[in-house]
Structure 1
Amino acid sequence: MKKKVLLAVAMVCLVAFVGTAYAVTYITIVSGGLGGTYYPLGGVLAEVYNKAGIDVKATSRATSASRENCRLVASGRADVGMSMGSTLYQAYTGTEAFEEDGALPLKILMHMYPAPHHIVTVKGTGITKFEDILGKRVSVGAPGGGDQVLTNMILDAAGINPEKDIKRQQLTQPEGVMALKDGNVDVVFWNFATPGSAVLEVAAVREVVLIPIPEDIVEKVVKKYPFMFPYKIPKGTYPKQNEDVLTVADGNFLVVNKDMDEELAYKLVKTTIEHREEIMQSIPQASHFVPEEASVAIIPVHPGAARYFKEHGIEVPVE
């Protein structure tokens, strides 16, 4: 009888141990559509989490990107989402596109990579500094597109009326590439992660020149639009770029629900950053997955992620 009791106790303990040892947290990552960076990045992150030995089973799902992702994460229908900073800020504050939603319960897991604004011309246009764009043929980006929205923020901060002070053109990125190459436009405003394929395409046939934004205009933009931040495009990013170029950037973030388990959030950000080299093999933008850049915050950071950054000597806002 005693042996049977001991055996039963042992079996209970074994079952409890096995259950604990193999407890797995299932998470869904929502990314973006085919053709962008979000979609392949979601797949790579899921693979990394699944192989990292952190008791996480992840799947990635394609979506229409930032707006949908913020709503999915806030509602609990997804666990980790990718979002542009401008959209995330609206979702967190319940403004503009999210006025009907109200403020969503989101926190930053980490900043993935910046999307700096590029002001690009070619040698021979006579444009060497920002104020030289006055009176020139300037593409501000396609109507309603992200390029134009951010361009208008910069022009407004500079006191430039795009309808009066420049010869405005509203070109898509491919159209802007052709116009620069053919000399049909003097300067284009583009927003994307570096190195931008559009700039490299122009650089293949023309000598490109990146125009910096004056520091006082950068300060005005950042003050008025808290989701923007100062950024320098490092020298050498593009051919014959011998100096850093000051601009402003929108960010791309991994976001989670504010109620995500703290330990899970900690493990996810730690794993993402520690597997940077592996992720870079598929996604070059992962070169930014270092604590100093990953800790950029435009809204509060999840406490689990904040704990990881604190271990690296970086304090981030959590409230």
Structure 2
Amino acid sequence: MKKKLYSLCMFLSILALILAGCGSGKAEEGADGTGSKVSGIVPMYTPGAGGPNYIISAGIGQIFKNSNVMPGVVLTTEAMSGVVEGTNLLIDRYNQGKPAFAAFTGEALAQAVQGELEQIPGEHPELKAVGWINSTVNHVVVAKDSPIKSMADLKGKRIGALPPGATATNLFNVVLEEGYGVKSSDYKHIPIGYAEIIEGIQNGSIDAGVLPGSLPNPNVTELAQLYPIRILEVEEDILKKMVERHPYFSYVNVESGMYPGQDEDTLMAAFESVIYTHEKTDEELVYNVVKTIMENGEELRKVHPSANISKETILNGIKTPFHSGAEKYFQEVGIEVNQ
């Protein structure tokens, strides 16, 4: 199974590289002879290659290229070590007056704008939203015979999760503390990756694990095929209150049968990923990027099934101001932005 999963990841990474249409040459921004104010290579910073944000961003870049709406512009997907690196590079592009985009979480965008993103000092109101691209669901898993029956039972337990600061870990802590009164200091956080979480559940070195991912999550599927597990549910009233306080978070109902051994519908917390840019990025460019996203939903879902982008979802998880180019498109198609 691990070999199959590895092969799948390799396939997705190769697909993303192909879709990105990346070139090794460089170009300068400037007039391209088509009336546009911008041309050349425009980076789109994302999490690691092979992840949904990378694949979706690469798909957007390829569709944008194929549309020929701005033939002098090439959108290239660049994988970063994390949101701090990607957002810092976006801010650098702002200071240079050069266009760029980033695809991370709505939480990260809100924190950067408000001056709350760790390792990036100061407020950054120059960062502007473009639109939603997908949701990531937090799967909290335990062994099927575990005495842990609810989220409240996680107090005092060993929990494998991504390092502090990761959106998945932040979301997990928000649910535990605000919903169940369990603070991060009330459990032992073991910062490990997905492979180690899968192994830890099987060998008992951790009591629970947090596995974020788009539906269906291949890591959860792999674990459920290797070892009997349960996925912990979060009560709906807790999830609704969470979304009221943290609008860049959300929740989903995962239907029974999505994973081996899951015989009931299960409510789970989720977080939203969005594309954002800075206010100096050309309005025409942002307008056409949003237009590309909105008018090619079916093609983007073929690139990655989590890219369920529509009029109903494009504003999800965004409570920061939009770029004027995005607002222009939304106004034209009757999407009301309330912020």
- TM range, smaller chain: 0.7 to 0.9
Q: Which amino acid aligns with 2:285?
A: L
Q: Displacement of 1:285 after TM fit?
A: 2.7
1:190 match: 211
Normalising by structure 1, we get a TM-score of: 0.78
1:3 match: none
2:76 match: 60
2:298 pairs, out of 265, 268, 277, with: 277
Evaluate the alpha carbon distance shift between residue 29 and residue 85 of structure 1 in structure 2; reply closer, same or farther with a 3 A threshold.
same
Residue 102 in 1 paired to residue 123 in 2? yes
Identity %: 26
1:89-114 alpha-carbon deviations (Å, 9 max, x no partner): 11111224265243241221111111
Q: Displacement of 1:177 after TM fit?
A: 0.5
SS state at 2:215 partner:
coil
Residue 23 in 1 paired to residue 35 in 2? yes
CA distance in structure 2 between the partners assigned to 1:231 and 1:255 by the alignment: 22
Q: Displacement of 1:169 after TM fit?
A: 4.5
Evaluate the alpha carbon distance shift between residue 163 and residue 244 of structure 1 in structure 2; reply closer, same or farther with a 3 A threshold.
same
Asked if 2 retains the 8 angstrom alpha-carbon contact of 1:66 and 1:87, the reply is yes
1:201 match: 222
RMSD over equivalenced CA pairs, Å: 3.1
Q: Which amino acid aligns with 2:76?
A: S
1:73 match: 90
Residue 213 in 1 paired to residue 228 in 2? no
Asked if 2 retains the 8 angstrom alpha-carbon contact of 1:295 and 1:309, the reply is no
SS state at 1:179 partner:
helix
Q: Displacement of 1:35 after TM fit?
A: 4.2
Asked if 1 retains the 8 angstrom alpha-carbon contact of 2:152 and 2:176, the reply is no
Asked if 1 retains the 8 angstrom alpha-carbon contact of 2:103 and 2:276, the reply is yes
CA distance in structure 1 between the partners assigned to 2:184 and 2:85 by the alignment: 31
CA distance in structure 2 between the partners assigned to 1:289 and 1:134 by the alignment: 37
CA distance in structure 1 between the partners assigned to 2:117 and 2:296 by the alignment: 36
Unaligned runs of 5+ in 2: 1-30
CA distance in structure 2 between the partners assigned to 1:213 and 1:283 by the alignment: 26
Asked if 1 retains the 8 angstrom alpha-carbon contact of 2:152 and 2:182, the reply is no
Which moves more between the two structures, 214-223 or 89-98? Answer: 214-223
2:323 match: 302
State how many pairs are aligned.
296
Evaluate the alpha carbon distance shift between residue 171 and residue 53 of structure 1 in structure 2; reply closer, same or farther with a 3 A threshold.
closer
Q: Displacement of 1:44 after TM fit?
A: 2.5
The structure with more radius of gyration: 1
Evaluate the alpha carbon distance shift between residue 138 and residue 291 of structure 1 in structure 2; reply closer, same or farther with a 3 A threshold.
farther
Which moves more between the two structures, 105-114 or 55-64? Answer: 55-64
CA distance in structure 1 between the partners assigned to 2:99 and 2:261 by the alignment: 44
Q: Displacement of 1:183 after TM fit?
A: 4.2
Matches within 5 A, 1:228-307: 229-235=249-255, 236-286=257-307, 288-296=308-316, 297-307=318-328
1:6 match: none
Asked if 1 retains the 8 angstrom alpha-carbon contact of 2:160 and 2:206, the reply is no
Q: Which amino acid aligns with 2:102?
A: G
Which moves more between the two structures, 169-178 or 140-149? Answer: 140-149
1:42 pairs, out of 57, 74, 91, with: 57
Q: Displacement of 1:204 after TM fit?
A: 1.1
1:184-208 alpha-carbon deviations (Å, 9 max, x no partner): 4442223333322221111112343
